Amino acid sequence: MSYADFYRRSIEAPEAFWAEQAKLIDWQTPPQQILDDSRAPFVRWFAGGTTNLCHNAVDRHLVERADQPALIAVSTETGTEKVYSFRDLHAEVRRVAASLAALGVGQGDRVLIYMPMIAEAAFAMLACARLGAVHCVVFGGFASGSLASRIEDAEPTVVVSADAGSRGGKVIAYKPLLDEAIRLSKHKPAAVLLFDRGLAPMDLADGRDHLAAALMEKHRDTEVPCVWLDATDISYTIYTSGTTGRPKGVQRDVGGYAVALAASMKHIFDGNAGETYFSTSDIGWVVGHSYIVYGPLIAGMATIMYEGLPTQGLDRQPNGGIWWQLVEKYKVTVMFSAPTAVRVLKKQDPALLKKYDLSSLRALFLAGEPLDEPTARWISDGLGVPIIDNYWQTESGWPILTVANGVERTPSRFGSPGIPMYGYKVKILHESTGEELTGANEKGVVVIEGPTPPGFMQTVWKDDERFVNTYWKSVPNKLVYSTFDWGIRDEDGYYYILGRTDDVINVAGHRLGTREIEESISGHAKVAEVAVVGVADALKGQVAMAFVVPRDGAVLGDSQAALALEGEVMKQVADQLGALARPSRVHFVGILPKTRSGKLLRRAIQAVCEGRDPGDLTTIEDPTALQQIRQSLASQT
């Protein structure tokens, strides 16, 4: 079947289409109603059907592949790696589930997970799914204030945590952060379950804190059956990044999510049982939920859970080839990373891409930030495999735009994440009138018409009104889900994402997308990375300011070279986008401020430029990055 026919069927006959996809998972009770969208924009998928995420990710594989690898935990921070078979994984998850049950966790209760990227974090997620509890993973190392607000919102019965995480050899003690968060929160969890890695001392609160090792040993042989849940029950909540005020918890269901992931592993990622999947993300972000834990395991694949930097080896020495070393060792077939990570690797010796046997690798998927063409070409030439961009959000749970090579081999296009995936009615609308823009290269807001497909968010946790008002009422005269991203579509139907609608700057009455300027600058041969922000200007309202990491670090200490390169960059932007888009200044730095998941902190850069407080920077990868921004502003006047 052609992908065009496959897609058309998903849109025109969604019930028949998704009933077929539902056969990819196990059901204890078959769904009674495939689609219920009688309360638009709220959608219920597979109502009446009962299933369990942990059963589909673990238990059902015990019959055919109990001794095959399931979870491969690698930490270049501690120099350890361990392979868990599906049988091992089942035993560990069962023991954590029994420990949680002993602490009072039951169906519908919330468990907040505040963990580093270690195997036990996956055990905890799957244990919650096994019990029918709702898990809420908060990025490890989050500041106490941010963590407290999430504890208050989620109201967990139990918090699962560890003594510490580690990043670039620096130990980050979690327990003091957690203790302070619980002190700040109005909600007090009944218990805290702690995994002790031996990285940092822990003071235990008597009666509240419990060491996981002791409880798991006590429940070594306790049987914990999977709780069969209605497909429309809640599986987990996850807080979107960058929220202000009360945290915004994306709420996901059980059955729709399981089916969506099973279908995506087959149709999009083209993954097969017995193979190995490697996502370099973090379980604090939705990619980690979907494509480190649930997706690969549901598909019967081994999944690599990685703690560490992309430039550090298992001997804890610098090694820009560690990821490719793992691809070779574990015969990875599908890899998922972020454009930012690839830009970091661009600074390493390109020979590292040829040093290892990567013949098992079929494709590298990239998401999280728009993928610029120079970066895509560099990694494509280096690996010699398809580089497949994909665009989605915490809210969607799985890709909105990409190519579905599992259905029909479809070429990717550099600069484009691809075409709409099955189930997604993607449109481009005029932001002021709501009129649909059907012509090639007409710029508008990318939206999704309901009903949204399985796996999409159900609502905002505890706030249906916020769900409707935030996502479905931003475009005039239309009840459509707004991605809050600008986009265009070419004559062949490929979409191009031009940046957030709130990343548009207004220069003397002219609206410019910072993403377009970044794309132009990144195409310069001497530029490794770039971030463009809009900075308040008394005369023009706003001006664009660029911060560039040069390929040649010598530029940073040579004012004449910096001035010359600034002129070249400005000329390139003016030639490609017009003089109006030319940045007011180009500042050169050695590193850009990013989160540990690889997202550029543009709002923090903007705040520094405008002399404002950059806000909570707990997740920043390198705290010196903003200091470099300040220094460049002071020195390049």
User: What's the pLDDT score for residue 368?
Assistant: 79
508-635 and 81-222 share a CATH fold: no
Cα–Cα nearest to 304, from 361, 368, 236:
361
User: What's the pLDDT score for residue 502?
Assistant: 65
Specify whether the backbone of 432 is left (phi greater than 0), alpha (psi in -120 to 50) or beta: alpha
Per-residue model confidence as pLDDT tens digits over 372-397: 788 888 899 999 999 999 999 999 99
User: What's the pLDDT score for residue 510?
Assistant: 60
Question: 194-208, 452-466, 528-542: which range is least confident on average?
Answer: 528-542
End-to-end CA distance of the chain: 60
User: What's the pLDDT score for residue 45?
Assistant: 98
Rounded Cα gap, residues 429 and 433, in angstroms: 8
Question: 58-72, 421-435, 459-473, 608-622: which range is least confident on average?
Answer: 608-622
Q: Which residues contact 613 (CB under 8 A, 6 or more apart)?
A: 607
DSSP codes joined into one string, 399-464: -SEE--TTTS----BTTB-BEEPTT-EEEEE-TTT--B--STT--EEEEEESSPPTTS--EETT-H
Per-residue model confidence as pLDDT tens digits over 130-188: 999 999 999 887 778 889 999 999 999 999 999 999 988 999 999 999 999 999 999 99
Query: What's 44-84 look like in SS3?
Result: EEEECCEECHHHHHCHHHHHHHCCCEEEEEEECCCCEEEEE
Find the mean pLDDT for residues 88-102. Answer: 98
Question: Mean pLDDT for the chain?
Answer: 93
Cα–Cα nearest to 357, from 385, 338, 319, 387:
385
> Is the distance from CB of 483 to CB of 474 less than 8 angstroms?
no
Q: Which of the two residues, 604 and 296, has the higher pLDDT score?
A: 296
User: What's the pLDDT score for residue 247?
Assistant: 79
Rounded Cα gap, residues 161 and 194, in angstroms: 5
User: What's the pLDDT score for residue 362?
Assistant: 97
Class of domain 81-222: alpha beta
pLDDT at 538 over 80: no
User: What's the pLDDT score for residue 244?
Assistant: 45
Query: For 452-469, b where at least 16 C-beta lie within 10 A, e where not — what string?
Result: bbbbbbbbbbebeeebbe
Q: Where are the domains of the chain?
A: 81-222, 508-635
Per-residue model confidence as pLDDT tens digits over 597-626: 677 888 889 989 999 888 767 667 787 899
Q: How confident is the model at residue 246 (pLDDT cuts 50, 70, 90)?
A: confident
pTM: 0.85
User: What's the pLDDT score for residue 242?
Assistant: 43
Q: Which of the two residues, 158 and 432, has the higher pLDDT score?
A: 158
Specify whether the backbone of 267 is left (phi greater than 0), alpha (psi in -120 to 50) or beta: alpha
Could you say which architecture CATH assigns to the domain 508-635?
Answer: 2-Layer Sandwich (3.30)
Find the mean pLDDT for residues 549-566. Answer: 93
User: What's the pLDDT score for residue 243?
Assistant: 38
